[in-house]
Amino acid sequence: MSNLTPLFNECVEIVTKELGSSIKIVHSKQDIPPYFIQDTFIKECSQLYLNLVNLASFISQIKPYYLQVNDEFSKTRTNSSHLSLEEKNRIDEEFKIKIQQVFEKLKFLQSYQRKQTEATEPKQKKGFISSLFGIGDMSPEQLYFVTIATHRTSVLKFLHETATTVSKSFESIQRKRYNREKQLSLLNFQNIDDDLNEDGDPFQNTYQIDLIEDESTTSGQDFFQLSQEQLQELKEENQELLDRKTNQLKQVEKLHHSMVDIINLQSEISTHLQTQSEQINLLIENQDQVDQDLRSGNQTLRKATHRNKRGSNFIVTICVVLGFTILILDYIVW
Confidence of residue 25 (pLDDT cuts 50, 70, 90): low
| Confidence (pLDDT) at 57 | 92
CA distance 165 to 100: 14
| Confidence (pLDDT) at 132 | 44
Mean pLDDT of 210-214: 47
CA 200 to chain centre: 54
> Percent of the chain scored above 70 by pLDDT?
72
Reduce the secondary structure of the chain to three states and give it as a string: CCCCHHHHHHHHHHHHHHHHHHCCCCCCHHHCCCCCCCCCHHHHHHHHHHHHHHHHHHHHHHHHHHCCCCCHHHHCCCCCCCCCHHHHHHHHHHHHHHHHHHHHHHHHHHHHHHHHHHHCCCCCCCCHHHHHHCCCCCCHHHHHHHHHHHHHHHHHHHHHHHHHHHHHHHHHHHHHHHHHHHHHHHHHHHHHHHHHHHHCCCCHHHHHHHHHHHHHHHCCCCHHHCCHHHHHHHHHHHHHHHHHHHHHHHHHHHHHHHHHHHHHHHHHHHHHHHHHHHHHHHHHHHHHHHHHHHHHHHHHHHHHHHHHHHHHHHHHHHHHHHHHHHHHHHHHHC
CA distance 297 to 303: 10
Higher confidence at residue 83 or residue 103?
Answer: 103
Per-range mean pLDDT, top range of 1-15, 46-60, 126-140:
46-60
CA angle 284, 285, 287 (to 5 degrees): 65
CA distance 268 to 266: 5
Contact 163/103 with Cβ under 8 angstroms? yes
CA angle 263, 264, 265 (to 5 degrees): 90
CA distance 148 to 42: 11
Question: What CA dihedral angle connects 235, 238, 243 and 247, to 10 degrees?
Answer: 180
Mean pLDDT of 102-125: 80
pLDDT at residue 236 is higher than 90: no
CA distance 59 to 8: 67
How does pLDDT run across 157-209, given as a tens digit for each residue? 999 999 999 988 898 888 888 887 777 776 655 554 454 444 444 444 444 44
CA distance 141 to 149: 12
